[in-house]
Structure 1
């Protein structure tokens, strides 16, 4: 019995040491730098370029309307002296109404641009969150913090930063390499 207990004790010790280091490494608190993920994620660049293109087109429409309105103002300034009082009032009212319509359109466009930006950003954030969740499950992490540079993680050792590993995997997945 004595000869059997010593090898069992050695095996139990080895298992204990292995379990300690295994459990310790899988329960370490780790984090990713969300800003670096957003900046480095290839889909972010594509989504941003698409958004910029849409915003530029929408703003060009507003600029075109403003240019036309300014031409009408200049024309009105030139023709003003030859107009009757009634024609002046009517033209001023028409120009005022057109300016109000352009202002309303510009506000609607700015609101649409903000909504498109929010939607595009949320799409990228959802991708990142989904990937980090799957990565955490796969690697056995209990928690992965997201640092955004606003002080929620004041210090972490370099080994706790998963940003580059996650970014590489995220980009591979986006490009279809995984």
Structure 2
């Protein structure tokens, strides 16, 4: 009898001690970062801003290029009549102006790319920080990113929070924009 009680106690203690903590379910989700940046209003406005700036720069250069082209056409028509010395001098001048136009175009493009790059990098950092804070607030263990630089090769669509993230970011941005408008109106 003692052996049965001892065996039962031993079995009970083994069962009681074998309580390994059950693996908690990880709360995971993923975001299609390309789609997020396409649908995020602040990113759309940033893209539109630099598209407009690029178009303005193109128009400025286009006027100068048209004037230069007209002068080159005139030069070709007048070269025979005004002589070789004039043609050489005017040809060198036009070539120099054409090079200057190309340098100006390259400089404007570089400036536009640098400005756009800085603002885009800043926006990406802000979105990453927001996702990090959002993940902590909502109790996620992992939030993965998909898109151009995919880090997730497969995930069930049930874990996709791209739409939710876009909605929250746009609401936050809309609130920020309204606050900025009110402060500008007060000035």
TM-score range, shorter chain: 0.7 to 0.9
Matches of 1:109 and 1:131, distance apart in 2: 33
1:63 matched to which residue of 2?
A: 62
Structure 2, unmatched stretches of 5+, are 1-18, 177-187
Structure 1 length as normaliser, TM-score? 0.79
Map 1:1-178 onto structure 2 (within 5 A). 23-24=24-25, 27-149=26-148, 151-176=150-175
Decide whether the 8 Å contact of 1:62 with 1:106 is kept in 2. yes
Structure 1: 5+ residue stretches without partners: 1-15
Distance in 2, Cα, partners of 1:20 & 1:28: 15
Structure number, greater radius of gyration: 2
Q: Structure 1 residues 151, 172: closer, same or farther in 2, change over 3 A? A: closer
- Call closer, same or farther: CA 1:149–1:71 in 2, change over 3 Å: closer
Give the conservation status (yes or no) of the 8 Å contact 1:38–1:124.
Answer: no
Q: So what's the TM-score if we normalise by structure 2? A: 0.75
Cα shift at 1:100:
1.0
Equivalent pairs counted in the alignment come to: 157
**For 1:20 and 1:69, how far apart are their aligned partners in 2?**
77
Instruction: Report deviation, 1:149.
Output: 4.8
Distance 1:149 1:60 in 2: 32
